[in-house]
Amino acid sequence: MAENKKQEGRIEPYHHAAAGWGALKYVAINLFKERVSGVNYKSLFAQNQPDGFDCPGCAWPDREHASTFEFCENGVKAVAAESTSKRVTPDFFAAHTVTELLQQSDYELEQHGRLTHPMVYDPASDKYAPIAWDDAFKLIAEELNALDDPNQAAFYTSGRASNEAAFLYQLFVRAYGTNNFPDCSNMCHEATSRGLPGTVGIGKGTVTLDDFEHADTLLIFGQNPATNHPRMLGELRDCAKRGATIVSINPLRERGLERFTSPQHPMEMLTMASTPISSMFVQPKLSGDLALIKAMAKRLLELDDRAVLIGMKRLLDIDFITEHTTGFQEFARDLRAEKWSVLLEESGVPRAQIDELVDIYVRGERVIATWGMGLTQHKNSVATIQMLSNLMLMRGNIGRQGAGLCPVRGHSNVQGDRTMGIEEQPTPAFLDRMQQVFGFEPPRHHGYDVVATIAAMQEGRVKVFVGLGGNFAMATPDTPLTFKALESCALTVQIATKLNRSHLIHGRKALILPTLGRTEIDAQNGVPQGVTVEDSMSMVHISYGLNKPASPELLSEIAIVSRMAEATLGGASQLKWQAYRDDYAVIRDDIEKVFDDFYDYNERVAKPGGFHLKVASREREWATTSGKAQFVPHQIELDTPIRRARAKYGKQLMVMMTTRSHDQYNTTIYALDDRYRGVFGMRRVIFINQADIDMLGMKAGDWVDVESVWEDGVARRADGFMLVAYDIPRGCIGAYYPETNPLVPLGSVADGAGTPTSKSIPVLLTPAAAS
Ligand SMILES: Nc1nc2c(c(=O)[nH]1)N[C@H]1C(S)=C(S)[C@@H](COP(=O)(O)OP(=O)(O)OC[C@H]3O[C@@H](n4cnc5c(=O)[nH]c(N)nc54)[C@H](O)[C@@H]3O)O[C@H]1N2
Ligand SMILES: Nc1nc2c(c(=O)[nH]1)N[C@H]1C(S)=C(S)[C@@H](COP(=O)(O)OP(=O)(O)OC[C@H]3O[C@@H](n4cnc5c(=O)[nH]c(N)nc54)[C@H](O)[C@@H]3O)O[C@H]1N2
Ligand SMILES: [Mo]
């Protein structure tokens, strides 16, 4: 790939607070110089307003969707990227073969702008050519209906699809006959969605924004909000100003979590003042959180024992534990039996710091624990999240004001898509309801997630791939193998707003179907339609686009899905596809029939701010098998691929995390800077401890090649990365995704969640081969 060349850039450590003028400068550039064309600047200020659109930037909630304009660099970038004046037209495709386009970097592909016409791949010219919408749907129908079995098709979803689009998509796919729903969530918060039901009964967070106003202690695990959830940082600033204690648990010392200047507060901007955010920074080893949290629980238990002995107030919330939980005795037994030496060794955190952390935890009357990808993309992720839930249960920190679990999701509607049934492991109750409402027998056996889909393609068991958004080829692990898998398909269909590499890594037949973005007016028969989304705190609200569509040819996702369904299912389908796309309220009426919690959907979503979906655990109702919240003990696994690799290669073995830079949105590269980490104009870097650079006999600024160590005999490498000395534990390194995805073995996944372990890849570094 074109990116495999050395980039010219500079490293310049960042000494300012996060956000502030740097962020404002970025917005100014985006607004006035670079790309926004539609001249509807209003749209930039309409994100997350009661009558505007839901920000496509991230899933962090808004204050009732009703506050004054909330400035967010992330949101502006996402909106600007969607509102670009540049277009990828049939002329553009006529001028470039696919082979030529493949030479361009992801950054270059993104810069070409918005897709304007449905296109079909022509093997004779190796180019995409225009195709009429009807013919595109006919082609899809033919290929789907030619399969021996509906399970030979897989239907991917990225987390921007609205509730309505996602609901229709799953309705179509289940009526067609499969549960093969790989989705971006499989690579994201799957460990949360699979872990929490076993402890608190539902795989969602238990807090709302109001709880942040009452929390006195916040534990931020494995998250980089300054870059990925800037509005969360605003919330943390307010907590810090109120005197709340904020602890950051992250191997990499993220500068953006240290200080924050609020663009919402003119005085901070004018006086260059900033608010310190984290009062304490704990740096576990990569994947060391399970041991760290277990160590916290053990220490808490020991302190409680001591309190009992000397007749002081208990540190455990005994009333809560007795009334609301099961499994505590067994959990406590396991904690007592666990060796401190193992916990210290595996977490990489010194005992004194663990004690200090537990002091902070028990001083907190109302504690919120938040987490991101730093906890979810490891082999032990499900266990880690359950252990965090255990720790919170010990002091009754779930289901009361100012306290709770707060997984911070990524894509703006990734949580809603799962609620709507984008789920390869649907429950029997949900399928029964689908059958009752729609009158067909949905498939009952579980389908493929992302990793299983790729494996099935490799083995020829999946032959048709449809992507509702996203960039499957780049977001997924084991890039060269995944490319081959996609190329082996009979048909690949990509429904997208902008050109990306997944459109170029295609099956024998291939379609690119351009769609409206959320910022654009979606009029059906002249009537503007709204779509609904659910944020990370289970608030559901409606979103209306304001901008003129990028091209008159674009269809909404709902129109595409419903017409694909009509073409494929034909007369046999009794479903009212036409009515759905004519009026999205009709889709909501049917959603309400399937999900009781969506009662009076249209009425409730019409209110400013929308409504909160009930999260039972928030109300201390436990939808678990026992009807109570469950303590779940977990062993620290000592025979893991990483430990085996370390035994073999010693100190040379590095564990690599792959993460986001400031100027990217997942696989979309907006620009080449990572402001808070001090990287400018380049992406091929490795953050590494200076002592490890010395150990390798190299210097900061030297270039290395990276090879992953896995036990399946496949050579995986990514070459040409510059070493950057950084505050990160020894033996741990960081680099950006997607460039490093060729290093993630497909078979390396989170136990019980199937998430690729993209934050803990065992690798070796060698001096770069001369280039
Ligand atoms: N600007 C921007 N915003 C985004 C996105 C984007 O790409 N760009 N992506 C969106 C999406 S889909 C998502 S899921 C979210 C992702 O947002 P985050 O969850 O913040 O994801 P990452 O950037 O991958 O970084 C996670 C953090 O985890 C830390 N970490 C890595 N390994 C470990 C570990 O073993 N333990 C601990 N404690 N920490 C660890 C890293 O140092 C890093 O600070 O952001 C969303 N918002
Ligand atoms: N190594 C490594 N791999 C990772 C991660 C990691 O941290 N490390 N993170 C994982 C995570 S958390 C996630 S969520 C996935 C992300 O995986 P994806 O969701 O597949 O990837 P994105 O980059 O978000 O998708 C961007 C594309 O979506 C299309 N798009 C944008 N808006 C719309 C829209 O409104 N409608 C439609 N139809 N298309 C649209 C555009 O064409 C754009 O090119 O990547 C995962 N992969
Ligand atoms: Mo994500």
Collapsed DSSP state (helix, strand, coil) of residue 523: strand
What is the rounded distance in angstroms from the CA atom of residue 431 to the CA atom of residue 267?
Answer: 55
* CA of 160, nearest ligand number: 2
d(CA 453, CA 190): 16
> Phi and psi of 648, rounded to 5°?
-80, -40
Q: What is the mean pLDDT of residues 141-153?
A: 98
Coil, strand or helix at 677: helix
pLDDT grade, residue 627 (50/70/90)? very high
With the C-alpha atoms ordered 234, 237, 242, 245, is the resulting torsion angle positive or negative? positive
Residue 487, pLDDT above cutoff 50: yes
Q: Does residue 158 line the site of ligand 1, with CB under 6 A?
A: no
Q: Which ligand is closest to the CA of 349, given by its number?
A: 1
Cβ of residue 411 lying under 6 Å from some atom of ligand 1: yes
The torsion region of residue 643 among left (phi > 0), alpha (psi -120 to 50) and beta comes to: alpha
**pLDDT score recorded for residue 8:** 77
CA of 484 to the centre of ligand 1 (A): 28
pLDDT higher than 50, residue 68: no
pLDDT of residue 534: 94
- Tokens 């109570």: give the residue: 628
Note whether 11 and 678 are within 8 A (CB): yes
What pTM does this model have? 0.95
Specify the pLDDT at position 269. Answer: 67
E strands, 217-270, where?
A: 217-221, 245-249, 259-261
CA angle (190, 192, 198) in 5-degree steps: 115
Q: What is the mean pLDDT of the chain?
A: 92
Alpha-carbon distance of 232 to 254, in angstroms, equals 15
Q: Give the nearest ligand 1 atom to 737 CA.
A: 24
SS3 assignment, position 672: coil
User: Which residue, among 503, 509, 505, has the nearest Cα to 482 in the 3D structure?
Assistant: 505
Least confident of 88-97, 224-233, 344-353, 705-714: 224-233
Residue 177 zone, left/alpha/beta (φ > 0; ψ -120 to 50; rest): left
3-state secondary structure 723-762: EEECCCCCCEEEEECCCCHHHCCCCCECCCCCCECCCCEE
Question: What letter represents residue 763's amino acid?
Answer: V
- Contact between 722 and 702 under an 8 Å Cβ cutoff? The reply is yes
pLDDT at site 522: 96
State yes or no: pLDDT of 65 exceeds 60. no
* Atom nearest to 662 CA in ligand 1: 1
738 lines ligand 1 (CB under 6 A): no
The string of pLDDT tens digits covering residues 183-226 is 999 999 999 999 999 999 999 999 999 999 999 999 999 999 98
CA dihedral 15, 17, 21, 23 (to 10 degrees): 100
Distance CA 56, CA 613 (A): 20
**Is omega for the bond preceding 738 within 30 degrees of 0, making it cis?**
yes
pLDDT band for 9, please (50, 70, 90 cuts): confident
* Banded pLDDT at 69 (limits 50, 70, 90): very low
Mean pLDDT of 482-507: 98
**Overall average pLDDT of the 670-678 stretch:** 92
- 469 alpha carbon to ligand 2 midpoint, in Å? 8
Q: For residue 2, is pLDDT > 50?
A: no
Dist. CA 542–CA 609, nearest whole Å:
8
Q: Give, as one character, the DSSP assignment of residue 389.
A: H
Cβ of 739 closer than 6 Å to ligand 1, yes or no, is no
Average pLDDT on 319-341 reads 98
Q: What is the DSSP letter of 678?
A: T
Instruction: Quickly tell me which residue has 């028969």 as its tokens.
Output: 525
pLDDT at 1: 45
Q: What atom in ligand 2 is closest to the CA of residue 185?
A: 14
* CA pair distance 398, 415, nearest whole angstrom: 20
Per-residue pLDDT at 47: 62
Q: In this predicted structure, what is the pLDDT of residue 42?
A: 57
Residue nearest to atom 31 of ligand 1 (CA): 374
**Residue 78: which pLDDT band, with cuts at 50, 70 and 90?**
confident
Q: Which of 6-15, 148-157, 557-566, 605-614 has the lowest mean pLDDT?
A: 6-15
Which of the listed residues 109, 163, 666, 743 should we mutate to test ligand 2's pocket, taking the one with most ligand atoms within 8 A of CB? 666
Q: How far is the CA of 714 from the centre of ligand 1 (A)?
A: 28
Helix, strand, coil share (%) of the chain residues, nearest 5: 40, 20, 40
Q: What is the pLDDT of residues 501-541, one digit of tens each?
A: 999 999 999 999 999 999 999 999 999 999 999 998 999 99
As a whole number, mean pLDDT of residues 625-653 equals 96
pLDDT class for 71, splitting at 50, 70, 90? low
pLDDT, residue 475, reads: 98
CA distance 322 to 629: 10
C-alpha closest to that of 23 among 262, 276, 272, 267:
262
Provide the pLDDT for residue 338: 98
Q: Which 3 state secondary structure label does DSSP give 509?
A: strand
Percent of the chain's residues with pLDDT above 90: 82
**Tally of residues, the chain:** 771
CA 606 – CA 618 distance, rounded (Å): 24
pLDDT confidence tier of residue 39, bands split at 50, 70 and 90: very low
Confidence of residue 13 (pLDDT cuts 50, 70, 90): confident
The pLDDT confidence band at residue 81, using thresholds 50, 70 and 90, is confident
SS3 (DSSP) at 432: helix
Q: How far is the CA of 85 from the centre of ligand 2 (A)?
A: 22
Smallest-distance ligand from the CA of 282: 1
User: Which pLDDT does position 21 carry in this prediction?
Assistant: 66
Reply yes or no on whether the pLDDT at 285 is more than 90.
yes
Asked if residue 156 has its Cβ within 6 Å of ligand 2, the reply is no
CB of 376 shorter than 6 A to ligand 2: no
Residue 660 has pLDDT above 70, yes or no: yes
- Pocket lining: 660 vs ligand 1, CB cutoff 6 Å: yes
Ligand 1 within 6 A of CB of 720: no
Pairwise pLDDT comparison (634 vs 238), residue with the higher score: 634
Q: Average the pLDDT over 668-690 and give the result.
A: 95
- 405 CB within 6 A, ligand 2: no
| ∠ Cα 518 519 523 (to 5°) | 75
Per the CB < 8 A criterion, the answer to whether 140 and 468 are in contact is: no
Query: Is any atom of ligand 2 closer than 6 Å to the C-beta of 728?
Result: no
Percent of all residues in the chain with a pLDDT value above 70, rounded to a whole number: 92
Identify the band that residue 64 occupies on the pLDDT scale cut at 50, 70 and 90: low
Ligand 1, residue 227: give the atom nearest the CA.
1
Residue 445 exposed, middle or buried by CB count within 10 Å (0-12, 13-18, 19+): exposed
Ligand nearest to the CA of 475: 2
- Over residues 363-419, the pLDDT tens digits come to 999 999 999 999 999 999 999 999 999 999 999 999 999 999 999 999 989 999 999
> Which of 15-24, 58-67, 245-254, 703-712 shows the lowest mean pLDDT across its residues?
58-67
Residue 765 has pLDDT above 50, yes or no: yes
Say if residue 27's pLDDT is above 80. no
CA nearest 217: which of 287, 284, 294, 296? 296
Contact 656, 704 (CB under 8 A): no
pLDDT of 72: 77
Query: Using CA atoms in the order 132, 135, 137, 142, what is the torsion angle rounded to 10 degrees?
Result: -160
Q: What's the pLDDT score for residue 580?
A: 97
pLDDT tens digits for range 597-621: 999 999 999 998 899 999 999 999 9
Judged against a pLDDT cut of 80, whether residue 44 lies above it is answered with: no
User: Which bound ligand lies closest to the C-alpha atom of 56?
Assistant: 2
Mutate-to-test residue for ligand 1 from 26, 55, 58, highest number of ligand atoms within 8 A of CB: 58
Distance CA 689, CA 297 (A): 29
What are the structural domains of the chain? 18-82 (no CATH), 87-183+434-599 (3.40.50.740), 192-412 (3.40.228.10), 636-767 (2.40.40.20)
Going 37 to 39 to 40 to 45, the CA torsion angle's sign is positive
Q: How many CB atoms lie within 10 A of CB 616?
A: 17
Q: How far apart are CA 647 and CA 699, in angstroms?
A: 26
* Predicted local confidence at residue 465, as pLDDT: 98
Comparison of pLDDT for 496 and 66, the residue scoring more: 496
- Please say whether the beta carbons of 169 and 578 come within 8 A: no
Looking at residue 49, what is its pLDDT?
62
Q: How far is the CA of 222 from the centre of ligand 1 (A)?
A: 7
Whose atoms come closest to the Cα of 228: which ligand?
1
Is there an atom of ligand 1 within 6 Å of 299 CB?
no
Is residue 472 within 6 Å of ligand 2 at its C-beta? yes
The alpha carbon of 409 and the centre of ligand 3 are apart by a number of angstroms equal to 6
- pLDDT at residue 453 above 50? yes
The atom number, within ligand 1, closest to the CA of 378 reads 35
Q: What is the pLDDT of residue 45?
A: 59
Work out the angle at residue 379's Cα, subtended by the Cα atoms of residues 377 and 380, and round it to the nearest 5 degrees: 95
Cβ of 665 less than 6 Å from ligand 1: yes
